[in-house]
Chain A
Amino acid sequence: MKKGDWIIIGVILVVACIGFGIFFLTGKQEAGIVVISRNGKVIGEYPLKEDRKVKIGDGDNIIEIQDGTVRMKSASCPDHLCVKQGKISKNGENIICLPHKVVVTVKSGKESGIDAATN
């Protein structure tokens, strides 16, 4: 290990910590709505409070909203990474199915300035 190696490791750690910090600070407020998009276009918004199942395409992906959390119940893609991701519920969290270009994001329902400031 040379000096340059330590510099590289240090820079990576610092940037990663800043990243973690940003997501920690912005991702704390309770989330309100689930936004589902495909190919970059929003195809549906649903409240996180109401239990329901959302089917995308020909059952390519089935998204389940239950007890204030969202999960990818099933997917027809080969790797099932999105299914393995489990449940999400916090603002800014998301589940992404790359093969089908489906993105499920949780957003806070109300976006008032006070909320942002008090956090």
Chain B
Amino acid sequence: MQRRGANLAAFGVFVALALICSYIEACIPFQIGIPGVKLGLANLVIVVALYKMRVPEVYALMIVRVVLAGFLFGNLMSILYSLAGGLLSLTVMWGLKHIRSVSMIGISIAGGVFHNIGQLLMAMITVETYGVFSYFPVLMISGLITGFLIGVVSKGMLSRLRHIYFDSGGKE
């Protein structure tokens, strides 16, 4: 029972952290002139959570973050896009986590790229045009770079969180 409470508190901390990351990103837009290119700070929290929490909890964390951040800083459409990107990226990252030769950096890179792909697919569905596909290579490269940066930071963050365990089945 005590364990359950601790988990709930940890979940809350992670949600708060992810929201702060979304907030910082909304405050300081990481704009380099290409629309849709973002740093994806919140992905940092998701990547770390992937190593520290159970998978259903990470999915819950992702959905809660996207919906809250959407209501606070975005709109309904941005929720839809973020959700598509987030869920696809999380699923890919979870899958890659099972492969032993892939480290956190690789996982984060794939997460960044597939976040963009998910949003692009959602854009293709809602705007009903395949023209958005011309962004595809640009967004892949940007996802690669931001994913790499996030991966490096996640690695540092995780090594500092080594002694903290949530009831995760948190085998690393």
A binds B: yes
A residues near B (Cβ < 8 Å) are 1-5, 7-9, 12-13, 15-17, 19-20, 23, 27, 37, 39-40, 78, 81-82, 84-85, 92-94, 96, 98-99, 101, 103, 105
Dominant secondary structure at the B interface: helix
Q: Which residues of chain B from 113 to 172 have any CB-CB distance to chain A below 8 Å in the complex?
A: 113, 123, 126-129, 131-132, 134, 136-137, 140-141, 143-144, 148
The answer, yes or no, to whether B101 is at the interface (CB within 8 Å) is yes
Say whether B137 contacts A16, CB under 8 Å.
Answer: yes
Within 8 Å CB of B143, what residues of A? 12
Q: Which of B1-9, B39-47, B104-112 interfaces with chain A?
A: B104-112
Instruction: Decide if A99 touches B77 in the complex (CB within 8 Å).
Output: yes
Q: A16-B141, A84-B35 given as contacts; is B132 within 8 A of A96 (CB)? A: yes
Our pick among B96, B134, B136 for the contact of A93 (Cβ within 8 Å) is: B134
Docked-complex contact B109 and A12, CB < 8 angstroms = yes
Give B residues with C-beta under 8 Å from A: 31, 33, 35-36, 75, 77, 81, 96, 99-103, 105-106, 109-110, 113, 123, 126-129, 131-132, 134, 136-137, 140-141, 143-144, 148
Given contacts A84-B35, A99-B75, contact A12 B131 (CB under 8 A): no
Q: Return chain B residues, CB-CB under 8 Å to A17.
A: 137
The chain B residue with its CB closest to the CB of A2 is B103
> A20–B148 Cα gap in the complex (Å)?
21
User: Could you tell me if B127 and A84 are in contact, using CB atoms closer than 8 angstroms?
Assistant: no
CB pair B105 A101 closer than 8 Å: no
Quote the shortest CB–CB distance from A24 to chain B (angstroms): 10
Q: Are A4 and B106 in contact (CB under 8 A)?
A: yes
Q: Looking at the complex, which one of B31, B123, B144 makes contact with A98 (CB distance below 8 Å)?
A: B123
A5 near B103: Cβ-Cβ < 8 Å = yes
Q: How far is the CB of A8 from chain B (nearest CB, A)?
A: 5
Q: Is the CB of A15 within 8 A of B140?
A: yes
Alpha-carbon separation in the docked complex, A48 to B81 (Å) = 32
Beyond A93-B134, A98-B77, A103-B129, whether A2 also contacts B140 by CB under 8 A is no
Known: A1-B105, A4-B99. A19 touches B129 (CB 8 A): no
Contact call B106/A2, Cβ cutoff below 8 A: yes
Question: Which residue of chain A has the shortest Cβ distance to B131 in the bound complex?
Answer: A94
Sort A-B residue pairs by CB-CB distance and give the 10 closest, nearest first. A40-B128, A19-B137, A5-B106, A4-B102, A4-B101, A81-B35, A16-B140, A16-B137, A94-B131, A2-B103
Query: Can you name 13 A-B pairs with beta carbons within 8 Å?
Result: A1-B105, A2-B101, A2-B106, A4-B100, A8-B106, A9-B106, A40-B128, A81-B35, A84-B35, A92-B131, A93-B134, A94-B131, A103-B129
State A9–B106 Cα separation when bound (angstroms).
8
